[in-house]
Homo-oligomer: A and B are copies of this chain.
Amino acid sequence: MSKVIIGADTKGFELKEHLKNYLKELGHEVIDKTPEGDLDFVESTKLVAEAILNKEGDRGIAIDEYGAGSFMVGNKHKNIICAQVSDEHSSKMTRDHNNASMIALGSGIVGKKVAEKIVETFAKAEYAGGRHQIRIDMLNKMC
């Protein structure tokens, strides 16, 4: 089971609540960094990324209306690899190949059933390691 850090801006708040409950039902521990829902995506995503960097959890989920803003903010953190995803296949592959510690979701882009499977897959999938590590080392030297 994973320890999942979650956060959302105002427009992602409702999907965040839904996914928080879904992940808890699956048995994951969930830490909600934005219980109030009054932040913009820069602020909400920073809270998630900083919690990951502080090792408060091992997977981060940042939600806004499109996922685009949270994706940028996540990746502007050194040592964070954040994937913008709208399908469970990418969610699996980005754990497997990129060792992404965060995903960004758009509440206006994905329906709830797709979002459930994305976070379920992300919480469960493990990094494959091997040849992929050189690319991770390169990304982690950046910014």
Chain A residues within 8 Å of B, Cβ to Cβ: 65-66, 106-114
* A28 to B: closest C-beta gap in Å: 21
Interface of A is mostly: loop
Task: Count identical subunits in the complex.
Answer: 2
Q: Could you say which residues of chain B place their CB within 8 Å of the CB of A66? A: 113
In the assembled complex, the Cα of A107 lies from the Cα of B106 at a distance in Å of: 15
Q: Which residues of B contact A114 (CB under 8 A)?
A: 108-109
Contact present for B111 and A108 (CB under 8 Å): yes
Q: A106-B111, A109-B110 are known contacts; what are 14 more A-B pairs with Cβ within 8 Å?
A: A65-B113, A66-B113, A106-B113, A107-B111, A108-B111, A108-B112, A108-B113, A108-B114, A109-B111, A109-B113, A109-B114, A110-B110, A110-B111, A111-B111
Instruction: Please give the distance in Å from A111's CB to the nearest CB on chain B.
Output: 4
Q: What separation, in Å, do the CA atoms of A106 and B114 have in the docked complex?
A: 10
Complex Cα gap A114–B112 (Å): 13
Complex CA gap A65/B112 in Å reads 10
Q: A85: shortest Cβ distance to chain B, in Å?
A: 13
Residues of B within 8 A of A65 (CB): 113
Separation of A110 and B114 alpha carbons in the complex (Å): 8
User: Can you pick out 16 interface pairs between chain A and chain B where the beta carbons lie within 8 Å of each other?
Assistant: A65-B113, A66-B113, A106-B111, A106-B113, A107-B111, A108-B111, A108-B112, A108-B113, A108-B114, A109-B110, A109-B111, A109-B113, A109-B114, A110-B110, A110-B111, A111-B111
